[in-house]
Amino acid sequence: MTRPPLPPFTKESAIEKVRAAEDGWNSKNPEKVALAYTENSIWRNRSTFLKGRAEITKFLTEKWQREHEYRLIKELWTFAENRIAVRFAYEWHDDQQNWFRSYGNENWEFNKDGLMQRRIASINDLPIKENERKFLWPTDLNNGRRPDDHQSLSEFSL
């Protein structure tokens, strides 16, 4: 199975890969998202270490059961050969209606088929008030995809 765009990345193909990842995560479909990773993909997500699609699927299922109204924006930071670094922010609330904006950076490494074989994520959560939210697109349209004309992280100065 291949997952274009394939390495080595250009600026344009790296941006395309980042947007595809954002779109996948905004779908909140763990099985679909897990297909972007190799069968034995290695993750570090905060202080959680995972290996393989089954663990990734379980992790994402539990994540989106806790993080309600999840909306994510990713932005290319840099790229080289088969690696991409991104920064991101996402907004969500817990079961008690406490809102958060989570900020982070990810380092990605891809195999020749364009599947991610390594993901290293550092993330911090900032409590926000509901009226401080910035990511307000409807999630019931286009599989949760952020509209093309919606502001980016840089445009938000985040």
Per-residue pLDDT of the chain (158 residues; tens, 9 = 90+): 899 999 999 999 999 999 999 999 999 999 999 999 999 999 999 999 999 999 999 999 999 999 999 999 999 999 999 999 999 999 999 999 999 999 999 999 999 999 999 999 999 999 999 999 999 999 988 999 999 999 999 999 99
The domain segmentation of the chain, as residue ranges, is 11-135
- Alpha-carbon gap, residue 50 to 48, rounded angstroms: 7
pTM (whole model) above 0.85:
yes
Amino acid at 142: N
- Alpha-carbon gap, residue 123 to 88, rounded angstroms: 9
- CATH fold label, 11-135: Nuclear Transport Factor 2; Chain: A, (3.10.450)
Is-contact 83 106, C-beta < 8 A?
no
Is-contact 91 117, C-beta < 8 A?
no
